[in-house]
């Protein structure tokens, strides 16, 4: 045990293996740090900034910050949570998110984070961008209105499916998701329902048709438990992290 | 083949194959391939994308993704003449907005739209680096300076007659150097090769030591010690090493690299070669901003001269095994590519999105190999430092800022242009030399730098006090500093790469708030909102662009708060008459701007 390296996260001691980032080590040790574009199966790229923490006094994205021995990380503090609330408000204001009419409601990570972080107001004037739907594919609907530009579908399609169905186009606030076809339509790509890219969208952009309400609202993923508890279940656990911890039971 | 088997299809394919062959059919050269594709076809057509994707074996969505990132690459037809007015505050102060309006009226076209007959489109672009001879514009990528109503009228005439750009009056495209004050760098008349001979006599390791000894720091603004950078690159493990010259001079108000690349290009290449000797690189790149496209051919001929005289190529100056050559890559209108890791991404043919750091470019740079990235001026200074000896070089400037610095002076002064000073010169001295009268503020180092008010004019340029990449924009007492800040906020929103949430959305929100105040609908709540956004941008942005996007607002709010408050519709239900604002003139006359000189600050 003596040669295990550790850092401090909100007063708790978190062990880590060389090469792990602060986020990876924290989740493996049953410590939750809010996140949106991070996914345990993909290389972190740190764009949403929801996971911003203070590491030795400097703010940084914890999903890309390499863990260092002796680091003092502050995450669950009002300053960081207030920042996260603003970032969630920004994402809501940037796209067109109408939760009551969205079939992803209850399964949506953005919405779940909004509840968990207690985002009670809009905060910003909404931009209401014009983003047409793509319903061209017989089995899949793309609703770009809800895209938060996390690039998980881009990464999944490229790294796991080997297809490159998705990419990001444009710059700045005009950045948007596109598909790999001269027509610009999903029906002309080689996407399949079994693709990893179909499973990773944290919000309601990539949807399988005709099953939207097969699980009733109220019985969905984040209707049951808050995202802070659910995220720990989803994270790969460290086999040698040793025994049980309260968070593993879903009670952070 | 994907294209139709007819004359059109065959012509397109043949042309694209020529372009691809010129760039080694290498996807890392995608940006250069797209430049040439657009030069030939007018824009990047869907056919061309499909063909390039097949030939390079990359997804077509990746090509669209890259092309759409850069302002100067187009996926739709932009007209036979694409006119872009430089929209820096200095261009505006010289009347660019009225000139653009005039051109739009004369050519019957709305800004940002292509004319009905596909002849012309007119829009704005970020600073084109011609602030000393503005207002300026780019037509099909070529810079035109010193615009007047007369000149705009002539341009409209040429466009209406579809006169090829090559037949336009040469005077339109003349770019003056406007060198007003010289120092060791602009005075340099050494024979090319002298610094390199001095470096070869020292050897690679001692060249690094000499650069460290000289105290040279990066001239791009951040001021990282150049010797430490070269040493780290030299010592980093890797299969190849690279030297990259950052000539993506995008900071509004900066144009010194334009003049250096015109007057001292060989010295810059000499500095790069010296760096190659020091770190052990065989390949170098100069990343030239798209706005300086007109410098490409002259620079290439300087490179050729250096190859002809054995200053580049194999066994340089007879030193067996010292092989190094330099390639020029063109940028395409993205300010963010001035950030070194974004520049490397762009150099690899990708979207110019800054990388997560660590690792840093000195260990994981171009193609993940050790890379030394330095500014044009830094390479020039490095060559001078080795040539004249570290101790002699150290004697110039100040203790922590050695050597000289080129300052790009523009704005309200009769003698805009390039001024070279030893580090440590005060803002006031520069103002005196450029003949500025009634100066009210100076924006040092561009929108991401510092706004210096009159009571701070004795501050000194240098890393100890006012670090600068070289921009020096002067505003006299007729200028509205709120409008200056608003122009800069628009600039950052336009140039945000869009990677991270705070910068992508935050810069747009900041722009919205500033526009609301400008339209006369602002309240004190908006000022609080701006201050809140500032904190979010500073604490959570991915790179320096987001972190500095609020600087112009923060600095002008600090020094010129009345410029904001005078525009507010309501100060939280206070009377419409702004008592504190009424004292602005008195504050200006007394040179006071401390809290005691403000009414509302005293109350709270």
Over residues A141-153, the pLDDT tens digits come to: 999 999 999 999 9
Does residue B462 sit in the same domain as residue B498? no
Kindly state the helix (H) or strand (E) to which residue B245 belongs, with its residue range.
Answer: strand B242-247
Q: Return d(Cα B425, Cα A190) in angstroms, integer.
A: 63
Q: Return d(Cα B464, Cα B468) in angstroms, integer.
A: 11
* Cβ within 8 Å of residue B285, ≥6 positions away: B242, B243, B244, B245, B326, B327, B328, B329, B347, B366
Whether the predicted pLDDT of B144 surpasses 50: yes
Q: Return d(Cα B512, Cα B558) in angstroms, integer.
A: 20
Q: Return d(Cα A210, Cα B168) in angstroms, integer.
A: 61
Q: Which chain B residues are Cβ-neighbours of A124 within 8 angstroms?
A: 505, 509
Nearest to B61 among A49, A66, A179 (CB): A179
From B352, B373, B394, the end of a domain falls on: B394
Contact B64 A167 (CB under 8 A): yes
| Residue at B399 is within a domain | no
Q: Return d(Cα B582, Cα B493) in angstroms, integer.
A: 32
pLDDT band at B600 (very low <50, low <70, confident <90, very high): low
Scanning the structure block, which residue is given the tokens 């007063």?
A11
Q: Per mean pLDDT, which range of B192-196, B362-366, B548-552 is the poorest?
A: B548-552
Does residue B249 sit in the same domain as residue B368? yes
Which backbone phi and psi does A171 adopt, to 5 degrees?
-135, 155
Largest CA distance in chain B: 80
> What is the length of chain B?
604
Task: Determine the pLDDT at residue A4.
Answer: 80
Is B481:B563 a contact under the CB 8 Å cutoff? Answer: yes
Contact B498 A172 (CB under 8 A): yes
Chain A interface mutation, best of B57, B500, B538, highest count of A Cβ atoms under 10 Å:
B500
Angle made by CA atoms B110, B113, B114, in degrees to the nearest 5: 110
Helices A78-94 and B524-540 cross at an angle (nearest 10°) of 110
Contact B59 A167 (CB under 8 A): yes
Q: Return d(Cα B259, Cα B587) in angstroms, integer.
A: 39
Closest CA to B63 of B90, B89, B42, B37: B37
Structure tokens that stand for B405 in this block: 């610095």
pLDDT digits (tens, 9 = 90+) for B262-273: 999 999 999 999
Task: Determine the pLDDT at residue B32.
Answer: 97
> SS3 of A65, please?
coil
Domain that holds residue B602: 574-604
Task: Determine the pLDDT at residue B597.
Answer: 86
| Residue at B582 is within a domain | yes
Q: Return d(Cα A7, Cα A13) in angstroms, integer.
A: 6
Is A48:B501 a contact under the CB 8 Å cutoff? Answer: yes
Chain A interface mutation, best of B50, B53, B61, highest count of A Cβ atoms under 10 Å:
B61
pLDDT band at B3 (very low <50, low <70, confident <90, very high): low
Q: Does A48 touch chain B (CB under 8 A)?
A: yes
**Residue B358 preceded by cis peptide, ω within 30:** yes
Structure tokens that stand for A68 in this block: 């260092």
Task: Determine the pLDDT at residue A237.
Answer: 62
Whether the predicted pLDDT of B596 surpasses 60: yes
Which backbone phi and psi does B263 adopt, to 5 degrees?
-100, -35
Closest residue of chain A to B352, computed from CA coordinates: A171
From B373, B394, B415, the end of a domain falls on: B394
Q: Does B542 touch chain A (CB under 8 A)?
A: yes
Task: Determine the pLDDT at residue B574.
Answer: 41
Closest CA to B219 of B387, B375, B331: B375
**Residue B135 preceded by cis peptide, ω within 30:** yes
Structure tokens that stand for B533 in this block: 């956004």
Q: What is the CA radius of gyration of chain B?
A: 25
pLDDT digits (tens, 9 = 90+) for B152-188: 999 999 999 999 999 999 999 999 999 999 999 999 9
Q: Return d(Cα B69, Cα B76) in angstroms, integer.
A: 14
Q: Write down the H helix ranges in B356-459.
A: 376-388, 390-394, 427-433
How far apart are the CA of A201 and the nearest CA of chain B, in angstroms?
17
Q: Does B57 touch chain A (CB under 8 A)?
A: no
Q: Return d(Cα A31, Cα A42) in angstroms, integer.
A: 19
Q: Write down the H helix ranges in B264-403.
A: 265-279, 296-308, 340-347, 376-388, 390-394
Of chain A, the percentage scoring pLDDT greater than 90 comes to 86
pLDDT band at A238 (very low <50, low <70, confident <90, very high): low
Does residue B468 sit in the same domain as residue B511? no
How far apart are the CA of A249 and the nearest CA of chain B, in angstroms?
32
Q: Return d(Cα B232, Cα B357) in angstroms, integer.
A: 15
Is B181:B419 a contact under the CB 8 Å cutoff? Answer: yes
pLDDT digits (tens, 9 = 90+) for B84-123: 999 999 999 999 999 999 999 999 999 999 999 999 999 9
Structure tokens that stand for B453 in this block: 């008010």
Alpha carbon dihedral B556, B557, B562, B566, in 10-degree steps, equals 100
| Residue at B95 is within a domain | yes
Chain A interface mutation, best of B60, B333, B356, highest count of A Cβ atoms under 10 Å:
B356
Q: Return d(Cα B104, Cα B98) in angstroms, integer.
A: 10
> SS3 of B118, please?
coil
Whether the predicted pLDDT of A1 surpasses 50: no
Closest CA to B259 of B329, B192, B183, B152: B183
Q: Does B539 touch chain A (CB under 8 A)?
A: yes
pLDDT digits (tens, 9 = 90+) for A34-51: 999 999 999 998 999 999
Task: Determine the pLDDT at residue B576.
Answer: 39
Contact A175 B504 (CB under 8 A): yes
Contact B493 A170 (CB under 8 A): no
Kindly state the helix (H) or strand (E) to which residue B10 belongs, with its residue range.
Answer: helix B7-22
Does residue B429 sit in the same domain as residue B371? no
Closest residue of chain A to B533, computed from CA coordinates: A86
- Give the number of domains in chain B: 6
How far apart are the CA of A7 and the nearest CA of chain B, in angstroms?
18
Whether the predicted pLDDT of A246 surpasses 60: no
Does residue B385 sit in the same domain as residue B410? no
**Mean of pLDDT values over B418-423:** 98
Q: Return d(Cα B233, Cα B242) in angstroms, integer.
A: 9
Scanning the structure block, which residue is given the tokens 């996926």?
B75
> What is the length of chain A?
252
How far apart are the CA of A120 and the nearest CA of chain B, in angstroms?
17
Q: Per mean pLDDT, which range of A72-86, A119-133, B511-525 is the poorest?
A: B511-525
Other CB atoms closer than 10 Å to residue B50's CB: what's the count? 16
Structure tokens that stand for A118 in this block: 């207690």
| Residue at B288 is within a domain | yes
pLDDT band at B383 (very low <50, low <70, confident <90, very high): very high
Whether the predicted pLDDT of A248 surpasses 50: no
**Mean of pLDDT values over B217-223:** 91
Structure tokens that stand for B209 in this block: 């030591």
Task: Determine the pLDDT at residue A44.
Answer: 92
Nearest to A170 among B61, B68, B539 (CB): B68
Task: Determine the pLDDT at residue A227.
Answer: 94
Q: What are the strands, taking DSSP E only, across A103-195?
A: 140-142, 166-169, 176-179
Task: Determine the pLDDT at residue B458.
Answer: 97
The CATH number of the domain holding residue B259 is 3.40.50.11540
Does residue B469 sit in the same domain as residue B487? no
Q: Return d(Cα B204, Cα A177) in angstroms, integer.
A: 48
Q: Find how far residue B163's CA is from the centre of its chain.
A: 31
Is B125:B71 a contact under the CB 8 Å cutoff? Answer: yes
Whether the predicted pLDDT of B524 surpasses 90: no
**Residue B359 preceded by cis peptide, ω within 30:** yes
Alpha carbon dihedral B270, B275, B278, B279, in 10-degree steps, equals -150
Q: What is the average pLDDT value for chain B, to the nearest integer?
A: 94
Cross-strand partners of A84: none
Does residue B308 sit in the same domain as residue B224? yes
Does residue B353 sit in the same domain as residue B237? yes
User: DSSP letter at B461?
Assistant: B
Is B591:B455 a contact under the CB 8 Å cutoff? Answer: yes
Q: Are strands B325-330 and B371-375 parallel, antiparallel or unpaired?
A: unpaired
Does residue B472 sit in the same domain as residue B486? no
Whether the predicted pLDDT of A121 surpasses 80: yes
> SS3 of B385, please?
helix
Other CB atoms closer than 10 Å to residue B570's CB: what's the count? 13
Q: Return d(Cα B315, Cα B147) in angstroms, integer.
A: 48
Contact A124 B509 (CB under 8 A): yes
Angle made by CA atoms B87, B148, B146, in degrees to the nearest 5: 65
Contact B497 A93 (CB under 8 A): no
| Residue at B2 is within a domain | no
Does residue B237 sit in the same domain as residue B363? yes
The CATH number of the domain holding residue B442 is 3.10.20.600
Task: Determine the pLDDT at residue B207.
Answer: 97
Q: Return d(Cα B305, Cα B13) in angstroms, integer.
A: 34
Does residue B555 sit in the same domain as residue B581? no
| Residue at B495 is within a domain | yes
Does residue B223 sit in the same domain as residue B364? yes
| Residue at B75 is within a domain | no
pLDDT band at A240 (very low <50, low <70, confident <90, very high): very low
Task: Provide the whole-model pTM.
Answer: 0.92
Task: Determine the pLDDT at residue B236.
Answer: 97
Q: Write down the H helix ranges in B238-329.
A: 256-263, 265-279, 296-308
Angle made by CA atoms B519, B524, B529, in degrees to the nearest 5: 90
Kindly state the helix (H) or strand (E) to which residue A234 belongs, with its residue range.
Answer: helix A227-234
Of chain B, the percentage scoring pLDDT greater than 70 comes to 97
> SS3 of B277, please?
helix
Other CB atoms closer than 10 Å to residue B156's CB: what's the count? 18
Angle made by CA atoms B77, B80, B81, in degrees to the nearest 5: 110
Task: Determine the pLDDT at residue A127.
Answer: 93
Of chain B, the percentage scoring pLDDT greater than 90 comes to 86
| Residue at B1 is within a domain | no
Strands ordered across the beta sheet of A52-55: A12-16, A5-9, A72-74, A52-55, A58-61
Q: Does B501 touch chain A (CB under 8 A)?
A: yes
From B371, B394, B417, the end of a domain falls on: B394
Nearest to B500 among A49, A124, A174 (CB): A49
* Cβ within 8 Å of residue B269, ≥6 positions away: B286, B302, B303, B306, B311, B312, B326, B379
Is A53:A74 a contact under the CB 8 Å cutoff? Answer: yes
């Amino acid at each position: 045990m003596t040669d295990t390296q550790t850092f401090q996260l909100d007063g708790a001691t978190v062990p880590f293996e060389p090469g792990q980032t602060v986020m990876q080590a924290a989740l493996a040790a049953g410590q939750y740090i809010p996140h949106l574009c991070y996914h345990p199966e993909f290389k972190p790229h740190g764009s949403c900034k929801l996971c911003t923490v203070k590491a030795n006094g400097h703010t940084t994205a914890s999903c890309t910050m390499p863990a260092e021995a002796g680091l003092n990380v502050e995450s669950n503090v009002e300053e960081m949570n207030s920042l996260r609330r603003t970032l969630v408000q920004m994402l809501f204001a940037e796209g067109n998110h109408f939760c009551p009419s969205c079939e992803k409601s209850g399964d949506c990570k953005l919405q779940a984070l909004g509840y968990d972080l207690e985002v009670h107001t809009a905060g910003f004037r909404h931009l209401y961008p014009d983003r047409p739907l793509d319903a061209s594919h017989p089995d899949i609907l793309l609703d770009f209105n809800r895209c938060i530009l996390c690039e998980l579908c881009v990464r999944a399609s490229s790294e796991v499916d080997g297809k490159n169905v998705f990419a990001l186009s444009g710059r700045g606030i005009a950045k948007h998701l596109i598909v790999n076809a001269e027509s610009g339509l999903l029906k002309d790509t080689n996407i399949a329902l079994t693709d990893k890219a179909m499973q990773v969208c944290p919000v309601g952009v990539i949807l399988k048709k005709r099953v939207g309400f097969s699980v009733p609202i109220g019985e969905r993923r984040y209707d049951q438990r808050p995202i802070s508890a659910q995220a720990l279940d989803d994270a790969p656990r460290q086999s040698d992290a040793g025994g049980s911890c309260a968070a593993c039971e879903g009670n952070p | 083949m994907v294209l139709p088997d007819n004359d059109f299809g065959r012509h397109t394919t043949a042309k694209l194959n020529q372009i691809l062959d010129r760039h080694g059919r290498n996807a890392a050269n995608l940006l250069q391939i797209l430049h040439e594709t657009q030069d030939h076809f007018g824009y990047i057509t869907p056919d061309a994308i499909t063909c390039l994707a097949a030939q390079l074996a990359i997804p077509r969505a990746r090509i669209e993704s890259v092309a759409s990132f850069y302002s100067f690459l187009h996926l739709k037809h932009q007209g036979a003449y694409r006119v872009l007015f430089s929209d820096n505050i200095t261009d505006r102060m010289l009347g660019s907005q009225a000139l653009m309006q005039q051109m739009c009226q004369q050519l019957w076209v709305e800004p940002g739209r292509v004319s009905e007959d596909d002849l012309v489109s007119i829009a704005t672009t970020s600073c084109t680096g011609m602030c000393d001879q503005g207002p300026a514009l780019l037509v099909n990528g070529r810079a035109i300076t010193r615009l007047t109503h007369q000149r705009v009228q002539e341009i409209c005439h040429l466009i209406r007659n579809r006169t090829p750009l090559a037949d336009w009056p040469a005077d339109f495209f003349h770019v003056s150097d406007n060198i007003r004050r010289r120092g060791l760098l602009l005075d340099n008349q050494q024979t090319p090769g002298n610094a390199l001979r001095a470096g070869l006599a020292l050897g690679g390791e001692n060249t690094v030591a000499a650069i460290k000894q000289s105290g040279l720091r990066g001239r791009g603004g951040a001021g990282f010690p150049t010797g430490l950078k070269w040493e780290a690159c030299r010592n980093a493990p890797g299969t190849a090493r690279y030297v990259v010259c950052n000539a993506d001079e995008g900071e509004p108000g900066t144009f010194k690299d334009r003049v250096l690349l015109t007057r001292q290009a060989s010295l810059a290449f000499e500095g790069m070669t010296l760096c190659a000797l020091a770190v052990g690189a065989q390949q170098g790149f100069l990343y030239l901003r798209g706005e300086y496209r007109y410098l490409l051919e002259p620079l290439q001929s300087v490179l050729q001269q250096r190859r002809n005289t054995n200053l580049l190529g194999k066994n340089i100056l007879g030193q067996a095994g010292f092989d190094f050559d330099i390639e020029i890559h063109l940028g395409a209108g993205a300010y963010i590519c001035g950030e070194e890791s974004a520049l490397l991404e762009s150099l690899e043919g990708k979207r110019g999105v800054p990388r997560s750091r660590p690792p840093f470019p000195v260990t994981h740079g171009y193609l993940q190999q050790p890379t030394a990235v330095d500014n044009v001026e830094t390479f020039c200074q490095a060559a001078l430092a080795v040539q004249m000896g570290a101790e002699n070089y150290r004697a110039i400037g100040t203790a922590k800022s050695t050597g000289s610095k080129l300052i790009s002076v523009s704005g309200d002064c009769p003698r805009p242009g390039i001024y070279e000073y030893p580090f440590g010169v005060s803002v006031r001295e520069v103002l005196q030399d450029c003949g500025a009268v009634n100066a009210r503020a100076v924006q040092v180092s561009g929108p991401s730098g510092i706004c210096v008010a009159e009571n701070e004019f004795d501050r000194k340029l240098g890393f100890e006090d006012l670090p600068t990449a070289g921009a020096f924009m002067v505003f006299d007492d007729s200028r509205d500093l709120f409008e200056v800040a608003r122009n800069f906020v628009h600039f950052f929103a336009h140039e945000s790469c869009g990677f991270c949430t705070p910068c992508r959305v935050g810069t747009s929100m900041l722009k919205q708030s500033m526009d609301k105040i400008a339209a006369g609908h602002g309240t004190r709540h908006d000022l609080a909102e701006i201050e809140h956004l500032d904190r979010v941008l500073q604490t959570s942005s991915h790179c320096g662009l987001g972190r500095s996007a609020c600087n112009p607002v923060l600095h002008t709010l600090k020094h010129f708060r009345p410029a904001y408050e005078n525009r507010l519709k309501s100060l939280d239900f206070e009377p419409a008459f702004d008592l504190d604002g009424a004292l602005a003139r008195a504050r200006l006359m007394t040179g006071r701007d401390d809290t005691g000189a403000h009414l509302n600050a005293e109350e709270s």
